[in-house]
Structure 1
């Protein structure tokens, strides 16, 4: 129970979430088909409901698990977007560690963070960001999977398109795959490596849990 001490308002209930998955589940239960996100795509306004968002995160995480990527360090770099959000939360609700990277960094700086952060998966957006990634691909020996958040320009056994990954996850969920959903989130373990700006030297990774 919380009270606004500046005004004589009555006490009101605030629901506390035990972890991020619980927060996403609660949003779907409370708000269902109401819009959680709205964004422009190909000149059209796209609306994503709370239910659709939960389904996307669950499917995305399920596909990553099926690809053998659970427990890996996963880098994410790109524009602020719905794809960035669902990528970030799908990783945080798994047993993996997310390594968010500033898209304005140089190719060399991005390469340093990915290698220092022990990343084995990279999720990236198109345009200028994709160009930087293509410049350093040969210098990322530990990256086994590249997932593009825009239409792919590179198609081979190591490169994937985000919508294809999510679609695969939805099919797995439809067939009863609950491996990802069965993961019990631990708020106290390492979940994110957040690299500093490196103004006085090389960037250093700050180890964060979801609790912190």
Structure 2
């Protein structure tokens, strides 16, 4: 079984069941399944075959769901991309990922115009129309022969289309994660990885056909993909698609559609908690709130639960594990500050540098094994071998386990910064800063932020005393997504280093803290 075939079975058994609401318009499982089948058929008519790579540069929308499941039904490999990435970031992923088809919004047309000559492997751009773009499709498409309308691709498809025969180990998704070398790595997730993790977390959290799940997390992010999209659809639930997170909209949907499940990062919970003139009644139908992406401050968790009388279950995951490995159970006491226990069919353990399991309470590296673990990094065999050893995925996160099997993350993966649930690796930002002609050296750290959890902070040595932090920030905006741009930049006379000349971020953090 796989995601697309299971949705097809649900559509046959519960044709009239509502699959999603989007901007207050509903779509049944039968209607969704038909659109998926026709999109898959339309792709085939464009020459797309099993194994070809399709990138999705879309926000939360029905087109994302149809594109994802349609491509999977065809047997293609999907590469979700954050649509707010810069041209350089998108270009790298499309080229490295050997992308043949790009599905994106019409707002992407100017970007395609600038960079399409650098993407020779891309054969088709499938464009989804937005209300903001007043230019007609016909006018735009006469300029770019590679461009097709999303609606036209669907309309050209046949309902008689029979999907490809899929194997469990076929690559279904490639998720690009920020790399410590400054270049993203593509984690290859199989059909089995995605189906098993969605099924297991759905069962673990008791998601069922009566649930109405608010899908406000970005769909291109693996947290949303598994927990707020795939798991509910596997269970025959209804998802409430939110184009962009807004506390006002979340409260409206929760009340109007009697939503039962919400998944978000701590930043979202903080905005909901701080929103004025709301009380317990506004979320009275919630039976469960799910938190991930970053550790939730215990005070926020307790205050939110007290105000809205709802349980927040924290979990843990990473792209390479599809992503969930741990969650606080619903049938046992929840422990604030803990990422919970191992979910069904997944093993977590804490080991030392030799890979030997450590006694209860001792801190070591968290490693994971299960049907959710990726097959490897795309075109990176050495990185794959360093990350997966004897079937175990080495997360790089430091953790400990208590006597009841609850895990606690002690430190972030090396120097990882998590801004509002998004991963930012310092090296990626540092490389951009280093490219500025007036910068001698730089280091990037994560600092606490009351709204985003963490913020990116940079420290640099410059040969131009006239260079300002604002000028350097504007430079970074040209090459980095907004959430990666340093929120603060401080100039120092020198950066702390070890005897080999390596910049010591931890020492810098202590030094800056005591200034």
State which of 179, 183, 188 in structure 2 corresponds to 1:198. Answer: 179
1:161 aligns with 2:171: no
1:31 and 1:95 map into 2 onto residues whose CA distance is 25
How well do the aligned residues superpose, as a CA RMSD in angstroms? 1.8
2:92 and 2:2 map into 1 onto residues whose CA distance is 31
* Contact residue 73 and residue 163 of structure 2 kept, 8 A: no
* Contact residue 19 and residue 29 of structure 2 kept, 8 A: yes
2:62 and 2:68 map into 1 onto residues whose CA distance is 10
2:66 and 2:170 map into 1 onto residues whose CA distance is 21
> Map of 1:158-197 to 2, 5 A cutoff?
158-169=146-157, 172-173=158-159, 177-178=160-161, 181-197=162-178
* Contact residue 120 and residue 145 of structure 1 kept, 8 A: yes
Counterpart of 1:94 in structure 2 is 74
1:139 aligns with 2:139: no
**Deviation of residue 200 (structure 1)?**
4.3
Counterpart of 2:38 in structure 1 is 59
> Map of 1:17-96 to 2, 5 A cutoff?
18-40=1-23, 45-71=24-50, 72-96=52-76
Counterpart of 2:223 in structure 1 is none
**Deviation of residue 159 (structure 1)?**
0.6
Structure 2 unmatched runs, 5+: 131-136, 194-515
**Deviation of residue 140 (structure 1)?**
1.0
Structure 1 unmatched runs, 5+: 1-17
Give secondary structure in 2 for the equivalent of 1:64: helix
Give secondary structure in 2 for the equivalent of 1:191: strand
**Deviation of residue 182 (structure 1)?**
4.4
* Contact residue 168 and residue 190 of structure 2 kept, 8 A: yes
Counterpart of 1:8 in structure 2 is none
Q: Report which stretch shifted further, 194-203 or 90-99.
A: 194-203
Name which structure has the greater RCO, CA cutoff 8 Å, separation 6+: 1
Q: Report which stretch shifted further, 53-62 or 135-144.
A: 135-144
Give secondary structure in 2 for the equivalent of 1:122: strand
Structure 1 or 2: more strand by fraction: 2
Give secondary structure in 2 for the equivalent of 1:185: coil
1:185 and 1:74 map into 2 onto residues whose CA distance is 17
Question: TM-score, normalised to structure 2's length?
Answer: 0.34
> Map of 1:108-123 to 2, 5 A cutoff?
108-123=88-103
Count of equivalent residues: 183
1:155 and 1:198 map into 2 onto residues whose CA distance is 36
Q: Report which stretch shifted further, 89-98 or 182-191.
A: 182-191
1:44-65 Cα distance to aligned partner (Å, 9 max, x none): x321110000000000001111
* Contact residue 106 and residue 132 of structure 1 kept, 8 A: no
Question: TM-score, normalised to structure 1's length?
Answer: 0.80
Cα distance, 1:182–1:196 mapped onto 2, change above 3 Å: closer
**Deviation of residue 149 (structure 1)?**
1.5
Structure with max Cα Rg: 2
**Deviation of residue 97 (structure 1)?**
1.1
**Deviation of residue 130 (structure 1)?**
4.1
1:72-118 Cα distance to aligned partner (Å, 9 max, x none): 11111121111011101111122211111111211100000000000
Counterpart of 1:7 in structure 2 is none
